[in-house]
Amino acid sequence: MNGERGSVEMGRDGYLPLFETKVAKGRILYRCYAASVFVGIIFIWVYRVVHFPPAGAQLLRRWAWMGLFPSELLFSFYWFLTQLVRWSPIYRYTFKDRLSQRYEEVLPGIDIFVCTADPRIEPPIMVINTVLSVMAYNYPSQNLSVYLSDDGGSDLTFYALLEASRFSKHWLPFCRKFSIEPRSPAAYFSTTSEPPDSNPLMAQEWLSIKELYEDMKNRIETTTRLGRISEEIRKEHKGFLEWNSASTRHDHQSIVQIVIDGRDPKAVDSEGQPLPTLVYLSREKRPQYHHNFKAGAMNALIRVSSKISNGSIILNVDCDMYSNNSESVRDALCFFMDEEKGHEIAYVQFPQCYDNLTRNDLYGTCFRVIIQVELPGLDSNGGPFYIGTGCFHRRVALCGMKYDKECEREWKKENDRRGRESASVLEESCKVLASCTYEENSQWGKEMGVKYDCAVEDIITGFSIQCRGWKSVYVNPERKGFLGVAPTTLLQSLVQHKRWSEGHLQMFLSRHCPFIYGHKKVPLKLQLAYSIYNLWAAYSLAMLCYVAVPSLCLLGGISLFPEIWSLWVLPFAYVIIAKHAYSLGEFHWYGGTIQGWWNDQRIWMFRRTTSYFFAFLDTILRILGFAETTFAVTAKVCDEDVSQRYEQEIMEFGSPSPLFTISATLALLNLFSFVCGVKRVVVDIQIKPLESLVLQIILCGVLVLINLPVYQGLFFRKDKGTMPTSVTYKSVSLALLACSIALY
């Protein structure tokens, strides 16, 4: 995987940098390939122009041509952009031993934000596992503060956090003593299910800590199932008084509870070592105020934390993204504290990885190629984007400050930042900072903090930081920094992509468009790289055209591609084969299976024809004022049988959704066309027209192959995850309708 180490950067004047950057190898070969494909693409364009059906020709054929050609142009543009990020990817490596030699005594304060929104689909036990994993970083506890933002405003989550604070007194020493990984108890006990025999001392403690954990887990899960906090528990902490009978998720005052006050000399673990500060925050919610989803939560966190601990580095994780590597903080600091380049870095992004992936990754969630090629490519083009989780920020940059060469950070002054106010006074004053009215007539959500009014608040925020002159870096250490929960059903995955592609398109069409907002502020190649993702939704039209038009024309015997014996076939064949062979090679090189690649192709087709298409429509509607930005939170739990099918890599349809109707209709349409095309070959044996339809028959055949799971879901499966009958009826009728229109 790390075969791509190229030139090594050396420090000048004996100065040893805290990180190094290596350029990917084998680029010459790659560039030759890219150039040859490019030539092929040009030939395809020429073919399309030269063979444009003349005015007298079939009208349908002209129309189809006018659909295909722009689609091909769009695909070519997309291909061109994706080559830009492959041109010279770079990889970063850190020197943590140098960091601790130079800076161990003056390490900066780190504030860690964990966001949760709904205790039903983000179970409190999962949330606190993430909290515990970040409390247990290999980092001085007095410099670490963990904030849990609960947009669900749930006393169940608060209760779980209290339990976690007690458990942490034993968990943190255990992690420290035996240097275990990962430090989320759930993840640790699932990877290490037996006490290690090699170390009898550890085995003893392992058993007792496991028992403590299981007890806590049972208590939390019982309470969560019950759905309310018993009177006895209520008496245990003053915090519960913040919930009264009138408060609901969408209507309650701000709640700030400093569960562990790191300044308190009594806040120590079972070995007398200090504990990190731990804060529960649920910002005020009122029906008449828009809460701006996760962006709103982040901004409340930024303000509240500035009052309590004011760490100069902020780490932000989603509630399912536990820390899988206790060294990540130090990895990130190697960038920020590097004497030569550190002062210009605004954020350090880790990839978003998952711990519940199956071997062939049916829903293509792991983004293998994006994580291992495109993000390193973005890094070399001007900096990766901020992807909302697993990202370390410099506080001032996140708050809206412009990069300024003059203002290099003095890390040494950081440590005497703590105020003397008591915890309860702090709690009261923080409530104001987390209130609905605080942001009225302010720059929050605009020039300060995380930006509002975009479904991908993270991307747009990161981009504006880059436009203010800051750099960002991407780091993907051997041991993954963070692991989360990937969606386990097709619908969840498609809905997530709808949100993303919609947000991206929204960004492209807003004043934050990379080409406008970024003009002269970031390199052109970075603007182009953002457009790859910004235009996801727009490519849906090209894809829809390509999966429907040639098949429909096949039914009517209308030819859209060169005859099989013509030389014009060559560029088509070359481009298609070379592109896919390369993509398969790339996928495999970075550890994917062949089946995984095939699944990936399928899911991209689904996304483009459904999620991105709906995102496109919704964006247009929103611009016209008919729809609002929403944020459908991805579920992190599912039923037993759903998760079993997920493990077996059986595609989950289950619930009726217009997204499924589209993909099923397209799948059936291709099936009918393919059958009809093959019938022409076998029964009619008309050689001449056949020759001009061969490419269409092949295309259609490939589409049928890739859609096999859809036919299974429509007709052959009996389990609960099959296609709902309503979808089957709708799609069959729609496909038949389309076919009959094409035939007559």
Ligand X SMILES: O=c1ccn([C@@H]2O[C@H](COP(=O)(O)OP(=O)(O)O[C@H]3O[C@H](CO)[C@@H](O)[C@H](O)[C@H]3O)[C@@H](O)[C@H]2O)c(=O)[nH]1
- Return residues touching ligand X (CB under 6 A): 115-117, 122, 149, 151, 293-294, 297, 318-319, 352, 388-389, 455-456, 458, 496, 499-500, 503, 631, 633-634
| CB-CB contact of 223 with 155 (8 Å) | no
Clarify whether 151 is annotated catalytic: yes
What mask of x and - would describe binding to Mn ion in positions 626 to 645, judged by CB under 5 A?
Answer: --------x-----------
> Which one is catalytic: 111, 150, 151, 261?
151
Give the one entry of ligand X, Mn ion, none that residue 596 binds, where binding means its C-beta sits below a cut-off of 5 to 8 angstroms depending on kind.
none
- Whose Cβ is closer to ligand X: residue 86's or residue 451's? 451
Nearer to Mn ion, 282 or 634 (CB): 634
Q: Which of 310, 302, 304, 318 is nearest to 400 (CA)?
A: 302
499 binding partner (options Mn ion, ligand X, none; Cβ < 5 to 8 Å by kind): ligand X
What residues does 421 pair with on adjacent strands? none
End-to-end CA distance of the chain: 55
Q: How far is the CB of 367 from ligand X (least distance, A)?
A: 12
Least Å from the CB of residue 634 to Mn ion: 5
Shortest distance (Å) from residue 551 CB to Mn ion: 36
| Residues paired with 111 in a beta bridge | 145, 314
DSSP calls for 487-524: --SHHHHHHHHHHHHHHHHHHHHSTT-HHHHTTTTS-H
Of 407 and 632, the one with the shorter C-beta distance to ligand X is 632
Q: How far is the CB of 458 from ligand X (least distance, A)?
A: 5
Fill in the DSSP letter of residue 712.
Answer: I
Q: Give the x-and-dash track for 289-328 against Mn ion (CB under 5 A).
A: -----------------------------x----------
Residue 318: φ, ψ to 5° = -75, 160
Query: How many Cα atoms occupy the beta-carbon half-sphere of 190 within 13 Å?
Result: 9
Is 639 annotated to bind ligand?
A: no
Lookup: tokens for 564: 């099989």
Cα 494 to Cα 24, 118, 450, 660, 677: the distances in Å are 33, 20, 25, 10, 31
Closest by Cα among 304, 305, 281 to 154: 281
**Per-residue x/- mask for Mn ion, residues 589 to 628, rule CB under 5 A?**
----------------------------------------
Residue type (1 letter), 579: K
State which residue, 318 or 331, has the beta carbon closest to Mn ion.
318
Nearer CB in complex with Mn ion: 157/663:
157
- The three-state secondary structure class of 563 is coil
State the SS3 of 565-614: CCCCHHHHHHHHHHHHHHHHHHHHHCCCCHHHHHHHHHHHHHHHHHHHHH
155, 379, 458, 618: which one is catalytic? 458
What's the Rg (C-alpha) of the chain?
A: 28
The answer to whether the beta carbons of residues 94 and 19 sit under 8 Å apart is yes
Partner touching 297 among Mn ion, ligand X, none, CB below 5 to 8 Å by kind: ligand X
Give the DSSP letter of residue 142.
G
Which CB, 402 or 446, lies closer to ligand X?
A: 446
In the complex, minimum distance from the CB of residue 487 to Mn ion, in angstroms, rounded to a whole number: 8
Q: Is the Cβ–Cβ distance between 90 and 379 less than 8 Å?
A: yes
φ and ψ of 400, to 5 deg: 115, 5
Q: Binding string to Mn ion for residues 149 to 188, with x set by CB under 5 A, is what?
A: ----------------------------------------
Is 294 annotated in a binding site? The answer is: yes
Known binder of ligand: residue 284?
no
Asked if residue 151 belongs to a known ligand binding site, the reply is yes
608 binds, among Mn ion, ligand X, none (CB under 5 to 8 A by kind): none
Shortest-Cβ-distance residue relative to ligand X: 388
Measured distance CA(113)–CA(378) in Å, rounded: 25
Residue 300 or 495 with smaller CB distance to Mn ion: 495
Q: Which does 294 bind (CB under 5 to 8 A by kind): ligand X, Mn ion, none?
A: ligand X
Binding residues (CB under 5 A) for Mn ion: these are 318, 634
Residues with active-site annotation: 151, 458
Mark the binding-site residues, compressed into ranges: 122, 151, 294, 318
Mark the binding-site residues for Mn(2+), compressed into ranges: 294, 318
